[in-house]
Amino acid sequence: MIGPIVAKNAMATLRAKLSQDDFGSFQDFGLANSYLNPGIAGTFNTSGGARLLVPSGDWCWMRPGFIFDNPNTPADEGAIDIFSANRTRQQYGLPYVNLPMANEIHEGYSFSPDPALPEALYGIPYNGRKHPLFTNSTAASALANPLSQRLLEPAVTFTQAERSYPQGPQTYGNSVLPPGKPQYYWDCMFRRSAGRVQVAVFVYRVAAPGGDLRNYTVGRIAPALVGTAPPGLPLGSFDADQFTPPIPFVYYAPTPGTNVSWPNRTTTSASGIDTTNGYSQFPTADEIPNTHRNTPFGPGRIWDDWMAPGQIWIDQNANVLEVLRGRMVAGAAGSAFPSQGPVKLQRPIPVVPAAPVNGFWIKDPFIAGNAATPPFHAGIGAIWFVPNTDRFGNVITPVYATVEEL
């Protein structure tokens, strides 16, 4: 299978420029892991209102920044910017690549005691001791010296050509489709767990509409592909606009209207599960609650692409899960596909240990106030996945996903 080969190639490419000591924590900047809308700053609010807890120094999955290609030039300027350094340079008034961008914390998370200063994180936290350009300890003379800037800033980028497979010199900066056109592409995200940085890699294929021959570059999110959530969708179930990273996409997964994460195996009634179509009365470990027919669904909207057959997810606990039986339409009674759903996985959702690293509070009955219930059990609180289409109309097919330590 080619997917693991592409993923290994991706990991080798990432490790060539990145190491564990390039990354930092929010606490290094005097900040707390917080939820910012839109964008994730080390944690996220579930759609039921609960917040995933992580130990100090760790952070949940965060995506690199994106610098998007200018289609009017022959070169492909598209790249991922691991620590969102280009956005940071823009906000600091330093020379930057003047192209559209998207970042995990696009509006910034200020760590300056003076709110008038631009000192802020715009993405994944970096090691400020190794890359001190944007911290308040940097000398003013360094900011005026371009060479010092380059030596001191956390600028690590991977072009679209580097994120393709197979790679070849003919794919670099070439606007004419060469015979050696890449067959696969990959994108990534990072998290810090137990003090170690992990990488999630998503491998996918891209087909242009109608078989058109064209080069591929990741495009920013189109508002029309997000649209407005239909009635019944959990409030705050996704954050997406043209300034948030487009791949992978994130969906906050708990059951609508509650803070119960997937799977909810405590159901005591059918809760809308359609037993007439042969479904079990109660959700099982490999079925996703509230994905039966007539439940909220957004045709043509990328936030519901997580339900598609063959879709691959990575959850907040770094579990990789694949959809066996998917859902492409709402499946309303009387429609052409009245029995679509519920979404069923290839294997049951793992239930991870009830530990702080997995979002559980440490409870000690002898300490007042510590007998409270954790915000939600360690099932799935959020999933990250590759959308099935983009603003250019390309058909994107997930192939493989994996998680490894950097």
- Is 309 a member of any domain? no
- Is 39 a member of any domain? yes
Q: What is the mean pLDDT of residues 121-146?
A: 74
- Is 246 a member of any domain? no
Measured distance CA(180)–CA(182) in Å, rounded: 6
CA 56 centroid distance within chain = 21
- Is 257 a member of any domain? no
Q: What is the mean pLDDT of residues 227-248?
A: 72
| C-alpha distances in Å from residue 315, one per residue of 20, 155, 251 | 22, 28, 10
Look at 43-57, 268-282, 312-326 and tell me which has the smallest mean pLDDT: 268-282
Nearest alpha-carbon partner for 248 in 311, 293, 174, 198:
311
| C-alpha distances in Å from residue 203, one per residue of 88, 110, 163, 195, 274 | 28, 34, 10, 26, 35
Q: Is the pLDDT of residue 232 over 90?
A: no
Measured distance CA(138)–CA(370) in Å, rounded: 42
pLDDT at 271: 43
- Is 237 a member of any domain? no
Nearest alpha-carbon partner for 225 in 5, 109, 24, 387:
387
pLDDT at 370: 47
Measured distance CA(165)–CA(162) in Å, rounded: 8
Tell me the CB-side half-sphere exposure of residue 296, using CA atoms within 13 A.
Answer: 16
pTM, two decimals, is: 0.84
Total tally of structural domains belonging to the chain: 1
Measured distance CA(299)–CA(305) in Å, rounded: 9
Give the confidence band of 279 by pLDDT, cuts at 50, 70, 90: very low
User: Residues near 175 by Cβ (< 8 Å), separated by ≥ 6?
Assistant: 73, 74, 75, 76, 215
Question: Residue type for 101, please?
Answer: M
Q: Look at 189 and 52; give whichever has higher pLDDT.
A: 189
pLDDT at 213: 63
Q: Is the pLDDT of residue 45 over 80?
A: no
User: Residues near 351 by Cβ (< 8 Å), separated by ≥ 6?
Assistant: 377, 378, 379
319: exposed, middle or buried (Cβ count in 10 Å: 0-12, 13-18, 19+): middle
- Is 398 a member of any domain? no
DSSP H or E run through 4: helix 2-17
| Residue linked to tokens 């409870």 | 363
- Is 127 a member of any domain? yes
- Is 136 a member of any domain? yes
Give the confidence band of 120 by pLDDT, cuts at 50, 70, 90: confident
pLDDT at 163: 94
Residue 91 phi, psi (nearest 5): -70, -25
| C-alpha distances in Å from residue 176, one per residue of 18, 75, 171, 179, 210 | 31, 10, 9, 10, 18
Q: Could you tell me if 294 and 374 are in contact, meaning their C-beta atoms sit under 8 angstroms apart?
A: no
pLDDT (tens digit per residue) in 283-340 = 556 677 777 766 766 666 777 888 888 999 999 889 999 998 888 765 555 455 556 7
Measured distance CA(396)–CA(237) in Å, rounded: 22
Question: Domain residues for 18?
Answer: 2-211
pLDDT (tens digit per residue) in 337-395 = 556 777 888 887 777 766 666 666 555 555 454 444 444 445 777 889 999 988 888 89
